[in-house]
Amino acid sequence: MALWAVLSALSPIRAVWFTLGASFLLNVLLQLVPPSSLPSFALLQDLIRYGKTKYGGPPRPAVCRRFDVPKRYFSHFYIVSVLWNGFLLWCLIQFLFLGAPLPHWLHTLLSILGPTQAQGGELALSAFLVLVLLWLHSWRRLFECLFVSVFSSSVIHVVQYCFGLAYYVFLGLTVLSQVPVDSRDGAVVHCNYQIPFGDWFEYVSSPNYLAELMIYVSMAVVFGFRNLTWWLVVTYIFFCQALSALLSHRFYQSKFVSYPKHRKAYLPFVF
C-alpha cells in the first residue's frame, strides 16, 4: 500500500523511473541472497543476464533459447536513439530559439507524462544541453558498436532487446519533459573472455558501468542537482548497472581462480 501511495503521488514519468530503479534494486538484493535459499526462476535469470553473464547462470531451458537475439543488435538501440533524440533536439531548437511550437502530438504526450517541476528559462537551456549530450553519447555508442566492439556470438533476450529500444525513446522524452513548454508558445586477436587489467579495472570489474553512471550524474549537474525526475533516472541507472556489474564480477570470480581478490564489482573499495 505504501508503495502504491508513493507511485500515485508521482507523475507518470517519475513513477516509471522509480519503478525501474526499485525493480533493479530488488534484483541486486536477490543476487546477494545465497542461491540455495531461493528457487532459481529460470525466466527471471534469463531476463537479467545477457552477453557473457548468460554463461555464468543456471542451465537455460530450451524454451528460453527461442527468444535469443544476437547481442550485436545493441547497435539498433543507438540507431533509434540517434534518430529519435535527434528529432527531439531539432524540435527543441525550433521551440527555444525560433519560437515554433512543439508538434501537437508531442506536446500532448509530454503533458500526459507529467508536467515539469519548475518554470524558467534556465531549466529549458539545461534540458537542451542534456539532450545535446545524450545525442552525442548515442553517436559515440553507435560508432563504438559499428567500428570498435567485436561482438561475439553472445545473445540477449528479446524482452531486453525491446526494453533497450524503448529505453532511449523514453529517456529523450524524460529530458524534454523538463522543459516548461507551456511557459511560452583494431585487430582482433581472439574472442575469449579474459581478465581485464589496468586503469580503473584495478579497482572494479566493470568500470564501463561505473562510467555510465557518471555520465548520468554529470547530466544531473547540468540540471542543477535538484531535479527529482533526473535523480530517479540516475537511481535506475545506478541499480541497472549495479546488477550487470555484480553478475559480471561473479562471472570473473567463477571463471578465473586468480581473479584479483581486492577488486570490487562496481564502486571502488565499497561494492
Ligand X SMILES: NC(=O)c1ccc[n+]([C@@H]2O[C@H](COP(=O)([O-])OP(=O)(O)OC[C@H]3O[C@@H](n4cnc5c(N)ncnc54)[C@H](OP(=O)(O)O)[C@@H]3O)[C@@H](O)[C@H]2O)c1
Q: Are strands 68-70 and 155-157 parallel, antiparallel or unpaired?
A: antiparallel
3-state secondary structure of 69: strand
Q: Report the residue number, 83 or 100, with the smaller CB distance to ligand X.
A: 83
Q: Shortest distance, CB of residue 71 to ligand X, whole angstroms? A: 5
Q: Shortest distance, CB of residue 166 to ligand X, whole angstroms? A: 11
Q: Shortest distance, CB of residue 133 to ligand X, whole angstroms? A: 13
Neighbours of 152 (CB within 10 A): 14
Q: Compute the CA torsion angle 238, 240, 246, 247 (nearest 10 deg).
A: -170
Closest-CB residue for ligand X? 51
Q: Report the residue number, 46 or 212, with the smaller CB distance to ligand X.
A: 212
Q: Report the residue number, 37 or 153, with the smaller CB distance to ligand X.
A: 153
Q: Report the residue number, 177 or 244, with the smaller CB distance to ligand X.
A: 244
**45, 56, 69, 139 from 64: Cα distances, Å:** 10, 15, 11, 32
**30, 31, 167, 194 from 251: Cα distances, Å:** 16, 13, 26, 11
How many angstroms separate the CA atoms of 121 and 136, rounded? Answer: 23
Do 249 and 242 form a contact (C-beta atoms < 8 A)?
A: no
Q: Shortest distance, CB of residue 118 to ligand X, whole angstroms? A: 26
Residues near ligand X (CB under 6 A) are 51-52, 71, 149, 151-152, 154, 167, 193-194, 196, 208-209, 212, 237, 240-241, 244
Q: Which cell goes with 87?
A: 528529432
Q: Which amino acid is at 80?
A: V
How many angstroms separate the CA atoms of 188 and 30, rounded? Answer: 37
Q: Shortest distance, CB of residue 14 to ligand X, whole angstroms? A: 17
Q: Report the residue number, 95 or 161, with the smaller CB distance to ligand X.
A: 161
Q: Shortest distance, CB of residue 132 to ligand X, whole angstroms? A: 17
Q: Report the residue number, 77 or 128, with the smaller CB distance to ligand X.
A: 77
